[in-house]
Structure formats: C-alpha cells, structure tokens
Amino acid sequence: MSPRDAERRAKHKLAVLQHVEEVSGNVAATCRYYGISRQAYYKWKRRYEEEGLEGLKDRSSEPHHQPNKTDPEVIEQILWLRQQYHFGPHKITMYLSRYHDITISPSGVWRILKKVGLNRLPTSQRYKRTQTRWKRYEKQRPGHALQVDVKFIELLGQTGRKKRYYQYTAIEDCTRVRVLRAYPRNDQKTAIQFIDHVLSKLPFQVEQVQTDNGQEFGQAFHWHLLDKGIGHIKIRPRTPRLNGKAERSHRIDSEEFYRLLEGEVIDDANLFAE
C-alpha cells in the first residue's frame, strides 16, 4: 500500500470517530451506517487516543513468529538466479538443491517471485502463443535421426593467451541419448573425428545425420557418412529450430554449466580432447 493510500484510509477511520461525536452521538448507529463492528470502532478510538492519526494507519498483519519462513539469504539467491539467468521455479529448486543443498519447493519459489513481482518472465523470454509455437516432432525408433551441432566455448580461469574450444554435440532424436566432446579446432577433419567417436558409443545403428550448413559439415564430412552407409541432410538456412534438440541442449549447457563456472575447470572426464 502506498503512503497516500495509507493516509486516505487513516482519515476515513478518523471520520468514523468524528461521526459519533458530531453527528449521531451513538456508537451502534454509526457502526451500522459505516458497516463496521463496534470492536473495530473501539480499537480505532483507543489507538487514536494513544498515537493520534498515526495510530489509525493500517499495520502489518505479518505474524510475530514464523517457524517456516524462508531464510533471507535463500530469498536473495532465488532473486539473483531469476534476474541473472531467468530461471523458472523448477530450475531454481533444482539448482539450490544440487549446488547449495537447500531444499525448497517450486511453489515456494513461485510465491517468493510473486511477492516481489518477478513471477512473469521478460517479454523476450516468454512462451509464444499456442498457434505460433513450432510443431514438435520425434522419431519412433532409435537411430532414425541424429542431430549434430557445434557450440563455441571459452574456459574460465585461463591466463595468458586464451584457448578456444568447440563443443560438438550429437543427440539421438528418439532416445535423447547425447554424446558430446570438445575440440580446439572447428573443421571438417574434427567433425569426422567426432562422428566416428559418436558411432562407436551409440548402442544402435544410425541411419541419418542432421546438421546445419556450417563449414565443418562440408563435402568431406558428407561423403564420409555416405561411405559408412549413413544419410546426411542439412536443415534449411536460418532455421535452427529444425535442429532444436541439439540447440536446446546447448542452451541448457550454457545456463546450468558454463555460465555458473567459477575458476579453472578440472577435466577429469577428458572432455576437452586435444
């Protein structure tokens, strides 16, 4: 409530008190006229006699003891994740549980965001209307289609001349099995090396590989797949949604891994292959 509204409500209560003294001369009649209880009238009268007009202003109804109240530090973390990364309630709950060992329900997160007016995402982050959403699809059998894409990454904590890496990602359309590996180069030779690595890891035969129109997926890569009896199709230019599963996995990698890194990465899994 704004200070102006609080002042207006206090003056209304004062008018009720003055009505008894100057107009009706009867508490019960005034209470019936204004639609309030006599208990409320006497409470307002007592506060006015003790504190004046300030005593008639609305007070907080927050209880004095709240054993289940969320810790202010947790609220600060929730608001920071919302403002910095636009995480939703479920993703905030997952992040706090995984990285900070904090247990809070998605509905509890939503109530905190609602209270401060952050329950709605910025316009650029909201879902599109139903009639304009892209139609989702998925293959019915494993190996029918394999989406492959490349993401540029730069490791934190590097000193001197920074090294660039490229994350190659392959995600199978039906099972959503994902294979990824990072390389210091982005060319057709690297793409061929990656696709051979993927084929050796998947437990089923791949029938078709789908990529964008990047230079790393050129003729050498195309004919390498054909020699293995695997089809290769490229999506239409400027339509990354057709490779949506790989694109979405890259976005999750950025939001839940790369953007949250602090310091130098220890590559125990040998992901960053030379």
Q: What is the per-residue pLDDT across 24-78, written as a single tens digit (0 to 9) for each?
A: 889 999 999 999 999 999 999 999 999 888 888 888 877 888 888 899 999 999 9
In order of 149, 184, 185, 187, the CA distances from 166 in angstroms are 10, 6, 7, 10
Residue of 189, 179, 149 lying closest to 166 (CA atoms):
149
Which class is 146-260 in CATH? alpha beta
* Whether the Cβ atoms of residue 57 and residue 51 lie closer than 8 Å to each other: no
Pick the more confident residue, 65 or 225: 225
- Provide the Cα torsion 104, 106, 111, 116; round to 10°: 90
Q: Tens digits of per-residue pLDDT, 112-130?
A: 999 998 888 766 666 555 5
Pick the more confident residue, 84 or 270: 84
pLDDT of residue 74: 94
Both tokens of 140, joined, read 């019915």
* Whether the Cβ atoms of residue 103 and residue 78 lie closer than 8 Å to each other: no
Q: Tens digits of per-residue pLDDT, 87-101?
A: 889 999 999 998 889
Residue of 252, 101, 255, 70 lying closest to 169 (CA atoms):
252
208: enclosing H helix or E strand: strand 208-211
Instruction: Tell me the average pLDDT of the chain.
Output: 86
In order of 76, 79, 120, 191, the CA distances from 73 in angstroms are 5, 10, 22, 46
Task: Evaluate if pTM is beyond 0.85.
Answer: no
